[in-house]
Amino acid sequence: MINFGMYYIDYEALGILISQNINPMDVKGKKPLISSSTHQEKQKKKNKKNKRQVQEYPPDNNVQDCSSLITQHPNCQLFSAEVVDAHDLEHHLRNCDACLDLLNKIEKEQSLDDIQDYPWTRSKTEQLKDLVLSHLHQIYQSAIEKITSYGYTIAVANNAVLVTGKSYQSLNDPSSTVADYALQYLASGVEVDTSEKENIAEDLRNLEKKALDYMVGVLKKKKPLLCTGEAMWFLLICDLNLSNACSMVFSAINYPHTSQSKLDPSINLHLNLANASSSKHMVKAACTKQFVNERKERKDQLQFVKQELQTEEEDLKKWACQKIMWVTRKLNEHQTELESLKLKSKEVETHGKEEKEHLEEWEENKISKLEEATSMCYAHIEWARSHICELEIERARLKQELDIIKKQSEEAKKVHLETFQMELDIAQKSFSCKNTKEFLGKALEEEKCKFSLIEQQIVNAKNRQSQLEDKLKNEKNSKEDVLLKVYNRRKEKEELETAAKLNENALKLQASSNKQKYDENVIRLKGQIQNMKLMINHRRRTHCVHCLDLQNNNEEINRECVMCLSEEKSILFLPCSHQVLCLKCNEQHEKQSTECPVCRSCIRRRIYPRFNS
C-alpha cells in the first residue's frame, strides 16, 4: 500500500491486474485501487497478529520527537501503555494536539517509505512495461490514423512518425501533438520515403521503447531513488502525461516529513499512540532524574526543531490551501453541471413523451401508406406479368424496369427508416435547436420528394404498360392483315406456277418438234456444204491451171525490168516470189529499201535463178 496524502494505492490489486494483463487505467470506475479506510482496517488486523513484535521494537528517533512535543504541548496527559483502550485513545486524540502531530508525522513517513518498500519483482515490472508500451502503441496508431485522414498513405505516415516521434514529451494530448509534428514535417517539403518497409512494426516498437526510456529517465532525474516500476506506475496513473507525472513525483519528494527513519508499514496507529505515550512517560522520568543538568542543550535543540516544524507547518498549510481551493473549484463546476443536467433531464422527460406519441402516430401512418403503396405496386406488377407473355424483348425490358422500381422502393424504405431514426435521435438529443429542426424539415421534404418521384415512376410504368398493350393490339391487327395478304399471294403464286408449268410443257413440245426440223435441216445443209466444197475444189484446180497458163504467157511477154525497162528480169524476191528487177536495178533497190515494189512486203532474201538450157 502506498499513501498519497489521504489515499492509499492497493498494490495487491495492482499485482492481480498485471498478472491478468489488464490495464489499471481501464479499472478506474469498476474496482478502486485507491482507498482510505480499508487500508487502516487491514493494518489493524496485521498489528493484532504482530503485537509482540511492535512492543519490542525500540522507538529510537521518536523519543526525541516526543520530548520536543512534550515541551511544546505541556498540557498533554501521560498514561501507561499497558492500560491503553481504543475508546480512551480516540478520546485522547481529540483533546491532545501533541499526539495528533505525532500521528501525522508517522503517517507521512509511511506514505513516502512504502513506495520503496514495495517488492517490485522482475515479472511485474515486465508486465507493467508491456501495459505502458501497449498504451504508447495506441497513441502512435491514433496519430497515424489522423495523418492518413489528411490524404497521406500509410507508408508515408509511418515514416513521418518514425522521424518525428521522438518529440513525445510533456504534452497534454500526445497523439494529436505527434500527428501535428508529423504533418509539419510533411508540409515542410522534405523528401519522405514512400516505400512500404517490411520491418515497420519493429521500428515502431523500438520508437515506443525509446520514448518509454526517455520518460523513465526524466522521472529518475526528479527522484534518483525511484525504480523503473514506480516510474512506469506514475506514468500509468497520469495517462502517460510526463508533466503531470513529474509534478506528482516532485510533490512526493517535497512532501514534509521530520524524521528519516523507516518504520514498519504494518504498525497500527493505536499502538503507535501507546508507544508514544509510554515514550513520553519514560522521557519525563528520565528528565526528572538523569537529565537535569542538560536542560540548556535540550532547549537549544528544541528551539531548532521548533523552527523546522514551523516552516513545515507553513508548507503544509499552503499545500492544504491549494488543494482545498482546487477541490472547491471542482465542486462548484460539478454542481453547476449537475443543476444544468437536472434541468435538461426534466425538460427532456416533459417534451419527450409528447414527441414520442406524435412520432409514433406519424410512423404508423407512414408505414400504412408505404404498405398500401407496395401492395399496389405488387398488384400492378402481377397484372403486367400476366398480360405481357408473348413478346420476349418487351417482357425483359419491363422486368428490368420493375426490378429497378422495387429496389428504389426498398431503398426509399431504408432511407425513410434511417431518417426517421435520425429524427428521433436528434429530437432526443437537441430538441431545442432551431437549426436541427430546419435540417430535419429539409430532410423530410427531400424524402417526400423522393417518395413522390417513386410514385411518378410507378404511374409512368403503368402508362408504359397501357402503351405496350395498345401496341400489342395494333400489332395483332397488322399481323392478321399481313397473314391475309400472304394467303392471297400464295394463291396467286400457285396459279402462276400452274400456268408456268403448262407454258413450259407447250414450249417443251414445240422445242422437241423444232429440234427434229432443225436436225433435218442441219443434215441437209451438211450435204450441201460437202457438195459446195467439192465444187469449190474443182473450180480452184481449174483456175490454177488457167492462171499458170496465163502466167507463162505473161512471162514470155513481160520479161523486162520494171525500173530500167531495158534489160531482162533476173532477181527473185522471197517470200513473195516476185521477179521484177534486173541485177543493176536490184543493187540500187537494195541500197534504197527492203520492200517489194509490187506487193510492198518485206524482202528477206534475193535470189538470182539460173536455168540450164
DSSP track, 103-135: HHHHHHHHHHHHHHHS---HHHHHHHHHHHHHH
Instruction: Take residue 563 and report the three cell numbers written for it.
Output: 525500173
Q: Please write down the long-range contacts of 175-181, taking CB distance under 8 Å and 24 or more positions apart.
A: 175/139, 175/140, 175/142, 175/143, 175/146, 176/143, 176/146, 178/139, 178/140, 178/143, 179/142, 179/143, 179/146, 179/147
Query: Which of 472, 502, 526 delimits the end of a domain?
Result: 472
Q: Cβ(256)–Cβ(108) under 8 Å?
A: yes
Answer whether residue 418 is part of any domain.
yes
Question: Could you tell me which residues are beta bridge partners of residue 571?
Answer: 581
The per-residue pLDDT for 331 is 74
Query: Which of 440, 472, 504 delimits the end of a domain?
Result: 472
Backbone angles phi, psi at 198, to 5 degrees: -75, -40
Local structure of 57: helix, strand or coil: coil
Query: Which of 226, 246, 281 delimits the end of a domain?
Result: 226
The per-residue pLDDT for 552 is 63
Strands 2-4 and 7-9: antiparallel
Instruction: Take residue 215 and report the three cell numbers written for it.
Output: 520518460
The per-residue pLDDT for 120 is 62
Answer whether residue 63 is part of any domain.
no
Cα–Cα distance between 222 and 20 in angstroms, integer?
A: 31
Instruction: Take residue 4 and report the three cell numbers written for it.
Output: 498519497
Local structure of 55: helix, strand or coil: helix
For residue 96, the Cα-to-chain-centroid distance in whole angstroms is 70
Max CA-CA distance within the chain? Answer: 212
CA neighbours closer than 13 Å in the CB half-sphere of residue 398: 26
Local structure of 77: helix, strand or coil: coil
Answer whether residue 86 is part of any domain.
no
- Considering the domain architecture, whether residues 459 and 564 belong to the same structural domain is answered as no
Cα–Cα distance between 585 and 590 in angstroms, integer?
A: 9
Cα–Cα distance between 385 and 387 in angstroms, integer?
A: 6
Mean pLDDT per 10-residue segment, the chain (613 residues)? 41 47 44 40 43 36 44 45 44 57 50 46 80 86 87 84 68 74 82 73 86 85 79 81 75 42 36 42 45 65 77 76 74 78 78 75 80 75 65 74 82 83 77 73 86 89 89 88 89 90 89 88 89 84 75 62 85 86 88 86 85 55
The per-residue pLDDT for 255 is 40
The per-residue pLDDT for 329 is 76
Instruction: Take residue 261 and report the three cell numbers written for it.
Output: 527513519
Answer whether residue 14 is part of any domain.
no
Q: How many CB atoms lie within 10 A of CB 256?
A: 16
Q: Cβ(54)–Cβ(292) under 8 Å?
A: no
Range of the domain at 172: 122-226
Answer whether residue 263 is part of any domain.
no
In angstroms, what CA-CA distances link 265 with 38, 43, 261? 15, 8, 12
Q: Please write down the long-range contacts of 175-178, taking CB distance under 8 Å and 24 or more positions apart.
A: 175/139, 175/140, 175/142, 175/143, 175/146, 176/143, 176/146, 178/139, 178/140, 178/143
Could you tell me which of 273, 457, 410 has the C-alpha nearest to residue 281?
A: 273
Could you tell me which of 321, 276, 260 has the C-alpha nearest to residue 108?
A: 260
Instruction: Take residue 8 and report the three cell numbers written for it.
Output: 492509499
Q: Using the 8-state DSSP alphabet, how is residue 238 labeled?
A: T
Q: Cβ(391)–Cβ(472) under 8 Å?
A: yes
What type of residue is 398?
L
Answer whether residue 212 is part of any domain.
yes
Please name the residues in contact with 138: beta carbons below 8 A apart, sequence gap of 6 or more. none
The per-residue pLDDT for 308 is 77
The per-residue pLDDT for 116 is 43
Answer whether residue 200 is part of any domain.
yes
Answer whether residue 425 is part of any domain.
yes
Local structure of 229: helix, strand or coil: helix
The per-residue pLDDT for 79 is 42
Question: Could you tell me which residues are beta bridge partners of residue 7?
Answer: 4
CA angle 319-324-329, nearest 5°?
A: 130
Number of domain units in the chain = 3
Could you tell me which of 119, 84, 112 has the C-alpha nearest to residue 269?
A: 84
Cα–Cα distance between 218 and 235 in angstroms, integer?
A: 11
Cα–Cα distance between 205 and 202 in angstroms, integer?
A: 5
Strands 605-607 and 571-574: antiparallel
The per-residue pLDDT for 406 is 81
User: The domain spanning residue 574 has which CATH number?
Assistant: 3.30.40.10
Q: Using the 8-state DSSP alphabet, how is residue 34 labeled?
A: E
